[in-house]
């Protein structure tokens, strides 16, 4: 059995995922980049001295194949970072104009993708012992913040598919934390903060926070000696659910 910690980052080829992959590699982990574009995955893996697997979180066969390959290479998985996510864009998720095709596409990646990947990799996580799952959520998924008239979200553009997918991801996090406690597997959600990635640019946002800053809390949770479980965290501490 490998003694080096093995980590998989979904959507690890760019943005916050690539920064998380880099941070985990700097902590001495062997990092596997999961990327739906194999060439982009190989390029990102080369930059951090890791490996890559083709991985589309919306595709059962792709996820199963990725798990089979990691099992063959390492026989276990110590850290799973469910990072792959989409915003769904600006159209079709405003109240009164909701396009269910947009909602389904967002949920397929941000929520069902996490179920699919987590369930498929559970045997490898159980084999590792004291494994960790980090779900990349969003502060926009906080019911507390979204319903607080004093919070900045009170005046932000109201889109329903993306925040609700992340709120559901938060509940998934709590349920898996409880369900996997007996296996010693910790499961936490993180809010990276608004970061200047392609994701933000696609929404017309110009931001100063870097992907590396957004990645820091995920890297910390994956590497601290004692991990909490069932938490929702950002740099500054706990995010209210």
Interacting residue ranges for ligand NAP, rule: CB under 6 A? 10-11, 13-17, 36-37, 40, 55-58, 83-86, 109, 113, 136, 138, 192, 194-195, 197-200
Among 152, 162, 176, 178, the one annotated catalytic: 162
Residue among 92 and 141 whose Cβ is closer to ligand NAP: 141
**Minimum CB distance to ligand NAP, residue 223 (Å):** 19
Q: At closest approach, how far in Å is the CB of 40 from ligand NAP?
A: 6
Of 5, 107, 166, 176, which one is the catalytic site residue? 166
Residue nearer to ligand NAP on the CB measure, 171 or 183: 171
Centroid of chain to Cα 202? 19
Residue 23, class by beta-carbon neighbours within 10 Å (0-12 exposed, 13-18 middle, 19+ buried)?
Answer: buried
Q: Does 162 participate in catalysis according to the annotation?
A: yes
Please, which residue, 126 or 196, has the CB nearer to ligand NAP? 196
* Interacting residues of 21 by C-beta distance below 8 A, sequence separation 6+: 7, 9, 12, 31, 33, 44, 48, 50
Nearer to ligand NAP, 194 or 217 (CB): 194
Distance from C-alpha of 74 to C-alpha of 51, rounded to nearest angstrom: 12
Residue closer to ligand NAP by CB (options 61, 182) is 61
Active site residue 166: yes
- ∠ CA 61-18-206, nearest 5°, is 115
CB of 172 vs ligand NAP, minimal distance in Å: 13
Least CB distance to ligand NAP at residue 190 (A): 9
Considering the complex, what minimum distance in angstroms separates the CB of residue 3 from ligand NAP? 29
Long-range Cβ pairs for the range 26-32 (8 Å, 24+): 27/219, 27/222, 27/223, 28/4, 29/4, 29/5, 29/78, 29/79, 29/222, 29/223, 30/2, 30/4, 30/5, 30/6, 30/74, 31/7, 32/6, 32/7, 32/8, 32/70, 32/73
Catalytic residues: 162, 166
């Amino acid at each position: 059995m490998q003694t080096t910690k093995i980590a998989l980052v979904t959507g690890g080829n760019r943005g916050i995922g690539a920064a998380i992959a880099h941070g985990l590699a700097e902590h001495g982990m062997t990092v596997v980049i999961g990327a739906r574009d194999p060439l982009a995955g190989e390029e990102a893996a080369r930059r951090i001295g890791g490996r890559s697997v083709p991985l589309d979180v919306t595709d059962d066969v792709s996820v199963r194949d990725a798990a089979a390959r990691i099992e063959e290479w390492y026989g276990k998985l110590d850290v799973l970072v469910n990072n792959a996510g989409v915003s769904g864009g600006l159209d079709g998720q405003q109240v009164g104009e909701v396009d269910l095709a947009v909602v389904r596409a967002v949920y397929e990646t941000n929520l069902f993708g996490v179920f699919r990947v987590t369930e498929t990799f559970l045997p490898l996580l159980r084999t590792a012992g004291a494994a960790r799952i980090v779900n990349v959520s969003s502060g926009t998924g906080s019911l507390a913040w979204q319903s607080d008239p004093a919070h900045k979200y009170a005046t932000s553009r109201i889109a329903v598919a993306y925040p609700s997918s992340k709120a559901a991801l938060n509940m998934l996090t709590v349920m898996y934390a409880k369900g996997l406690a007996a296996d010693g597997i910790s499961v936490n959600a993180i809010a990276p903060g608004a970061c200047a990635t392609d994701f933000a640019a696609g929404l017309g946002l110009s931001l100063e926070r870097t992907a590396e800053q957004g990645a820091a809390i995920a890297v910390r949770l994956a590497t601290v000696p004692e991990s909490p479980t069932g938490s929702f965290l950002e740099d500054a501490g706990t995010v209210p659910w």
